[in-house]
Amino acid sequence: MSRKKRVYYFGPAGAEGSSSQKNLLGGKGANLAEMCNLKIPVPPGFTISTSACVDFFAGGNVWPDGLINEITKSVKRIEIETGKGFGDKENPLLLSVRSGARASMPGMMDTILNLGLNDETVEGLGKISGNERFAWDSYRRFLAMFADVALDINRSQFESALGRLKEKLGVKSDTDVPVESLRELALEYKSIIEGAFDEGFPQDPKTQLSMAIGAVFRSWHNDRAKEYRRMYKIPESWGTAVNIQSMVFGNLGETSGTGVAFTRNPSTGERLFFGEYLFNAQGEDVVAGVRTPLSIDQMGARTPSAHKELIRIYQRLEKHYRDMLDIEFTVENGVLFMLQCRVGKRTAQAAVRIAVEMAGERLISKSEAVNRIHADQLDQLLHDTIDPSAGLSPVAHGLAASPGAGVGRVVFTAEDAVTWKKNNEKTILVRRETSPEDIAGMNAAEGILTATGGMTSHAAVVARGMGRCCVAGAEELNINEVEKFFAVNGHTVKEGDYITIDGTGGNVYLGQAPLVKPELSGEYDTLMSWADKFRKLKVRANADTPKDAKIARKFGAEGIGLCRTEHMFFEGDRIIAVREMILADTLEERKEALAKLLPMQKSDFKGIFDVMEGTPVTIRLLDPPLHEFLPKTESDFEKVALDLGVDISILKSRSDSHHEFNPMLGHRGCRLGITYPEIYEMQVRAIMTAVCELKKKGKKVKPEIMIPLISHVEELTKLRKLVQNVVDEVLGEFGLKMNVMIGTMIELPRAAITAKRIAEEADFFSFGTNDLTQTTFGLSRDDSGRFLPHYVADGILASDPFVALDRDGVGELIKIGVAGGRATKPKLEIGICGEHGGEPSSVEFCHQNGFDYVSCSPFRTPIARLAAAQSAIMEKENTLSDMPPGKTGKKIVVKSKPSKKAASRWSAKKKALVKKETEKAEKEKAERRAKKKATKSPGGKTPKR
């Protein structure tokens, strides 16, 4: 029985894998293999598969059978390719060991460079390279990296030792430390290792490799990797691949170096090769931000041929992958080697521009362009910017690493950023440079400010992926992380002080700058116009005021799917009238208070209808329990008592009578309408009066009246009659006729299960998934935040069910509700108006289950529009892939007028085909005549059969 293959080789002659095998080889390994297959210069190496990692953990951190043998054989192949020996004292082969999951996780897992160095091979490396300083610089780097990753020794000890040495020598840069001092430093590093690890530093290269591979496997479960997976919903079960390559050296001298580049600008999307380069450095120096790099253009001055080759390769790779790429490379003595290529992280602004421009360049189709944008990314397009009219002067300037502006109090540690956020404090995380351990704090902060690093440093890359604004490389900052302050240009900024950072311009300001909302780009408009052509779902917005409605229309909402009338009750002085209505002792008193509210409600509705002219507006009648509106303070009680002319003690007694132990399941929604019908009567009268007044002015108004919390059809029967009576009454008063849709929210399990009956009385269903989730799970969304994160972290739930729709439970109830409703009324309008209406996976569910529309907050309408388009495109692609060869389904036929060139080609093909078929028919006809002639008798008659 053959063993499972777990190691895949790649080199100049080609590779055992390709870019299509990301699940097996991880993204890095698959793309290294692909570059080798394209004959692009890549140092030879091999990839240990993700399945080996999964088996490693399944076996209790024990290597799978046969893996060591496969690794040994692959190392031998590298030795043959390079002419070097692993552990050879005279011509040593050094290796890099890097992680590589199938999804890009920049900086989240571990890397070890220069593996294979020891006290003997370092001497051989110095001799064969003719550069002792390079050899000892590589050795001290390896010692620190190996100790950190494989032995779990805090790297700060090694950085402190290097810092003390530079201070003693009076030099600023690592490259200024002489070889003799590097020898001493290596000894000190080994001493640190021996003090923390009883067995000391392992001198055997094979032992080093074994320990390094195990450490990279285990880094899949480090804290920062787990946090990153949680944020980006990457399954723990995937595991990581490990990539082992022959080292190439960027720290050999001034004709060597290392760089990171993007085939287009990752912040703006501009079609311009964008990158950074460090001479005489290794790759970790660029991404760690320990030195501020040069632009990629400056590389060409010293190594012109390598720069020219880099341009050629990046252009070829972008055309091959049809996407913006992030590439890493090293130049060794003027010779270029590619170390990585992957689809590049980018801001939302850049993603939109790149997708639209690539479609214009015909690299991708319009449907691919729409699918290139993660729907949630559009949130980033709505980030604040600093008001240009503020006339502020920056106190410092750095690199514009990630766009947007942020205001917050200064904190100096990731832990503090997380803690302060829990206390509802907005922060700016200030660091000399960030590291992967800072991931949670970066996520908690409003923005990130660093003193060193460039556009491809950890801070910049991670901030762009998160949508956080970031200013990197602000070298004027003198940061004291111990005493928690920084000094800059004569100012001292302490922990807790406010600052503002501008990630678009790279500026830092003291205090709180005024912020403004952004204007959306032309590329955004183009992309969304394409999305709107693909999608089938309509997108409405949840809006309770004319202001919200204007924002909704601006972002493309096609109506209001939920207007919550209770939110209007808290405006201005009207809360007094609401409290009077609730605490009234008689029906007359209650109607008196409601009469005060009617013109206020009418005015609200009129404003919303006016803004949303020509589109449907769904107004939900009063839903929350009455206690939410009651006085809370003594002064509030005094005011209401004065207005009603009753004793305050009586009011308090009435207030107590409305107390409920579980108000979420208590006297609310339609139950209020049944016990206090005058409340709903007032609201419907206000709605219809607003409608009629606008119709009299020639406005097109489309009201839909929604009755909440229905659990039994008889509730809806009773309340529909009440609503219809008021509608008819008001229309009669104005001498108008119109049909007004009256429907209900399906937000209780019983309503979903009995939807077939409920649909008899409803013109539409709107699924209220917030309450439906609460009542299905038996959870309170106000309290479940204390434990739901643990459920997600422990894998009990894939995601918070209040964020992404629970398809297995809540989703099944919705399916029952949709099927039941449409069994009664096949054309029943169905929508969703919970928070899920703007969450991409939930929008996809709605598309798949035949909804007419989704409704969400105004700022999430673009997300819903894009997600709806992507769902439609995916459905079409799946339909195509499911079809037998040569078949075309009617559903997916796209009629379009062919170009003249295409029409000409088709006409020529058609003529050739007709000619061929005609000739074939003539030939067959001739053969039949000949056969018939041959079968005739000599007398010319055909014999009888």
Catalytic residues: 458, 833
Let me know: does 280 contact 251? Beta carbons within 8 Å. Answer: yes
**Helices 348-360 and 522-534, interaxial angle, to 10°?**
70
Give, in degrees to the nearest 5, the angle at Cα 97 between 205 and 106: 155
Pairwise CA distance, residues 881 & 707, whole Å: 43
For the stretch 912-944, what's the b/e string if a residue is b when 16 or more beta carbons lie within 10 angstroms of its beta carbon? eeeeeeeeeeeeeeeeeeeeeeeeeeeeeeeee
Alpha carbon distances (Å) from 422 to 444, 445, 501, 684: 9, 11, 22, 42
Alpha helix positions (H), 170-249: 179-196, 205-218, 223-232
Task: Find all residues with CB under 8 Å of 601, minimum gap 6, and list them.
Answer: 565, 568, 682, 683, 686, 687
Q: Sheet holding 14-15: strands in order across? A: 14-15, 7-11, 45-48, 240-246, 95-101, 111-115
Q: Is the dihedral of CA 890, 896, 902, 908 positive or negative?
A: positive
- Residue 778: which of 739, 741, 817, 806 has the closest Cα? 806
Q: What is the DSSP letter of 85?
A: B
Pairwise CA distance, residues 590 & 599, whole Å: 16
Pairwise CA distance, residues 945 & 926, whole Å: 23
Structure tokens at 661: 């132990």
Report which residue type is found at 672: L
Q: What is the DSSP letter of 941?
A: P
Q: Sheet holding 335-343: strands in order across? A: 294-295, 274-279, 257-262, 325-332, 335-343
Pairwise CA distance, residues 799 & 801, whole Å: 6
- Residue 773: which of 756, 758, 788 has the closest Cα? 788
Beta pairing, strands 853-856 & 538-542 = parallel
Pairwise CA distance, residues 297 & 306, whole Å: 12
**Longest CA span, the chain:** 131
For the stretch 830-859, what's the b/e string if a residue is b when 16 or more beta carbons lie within 10 angstroms of its beta carbon? bbbbbbbbbbbbbbbbbbebebbbbbbbbb
Pairwise CA distance, residues 704 & 694, whole Å: 15
For the stretch 151-176, what's the b/e string if a residue is b when 16 or more beta carbons lie within 10 angstroms of its beta carbon? bebeeebbeebbeebbeeeeeeebbe
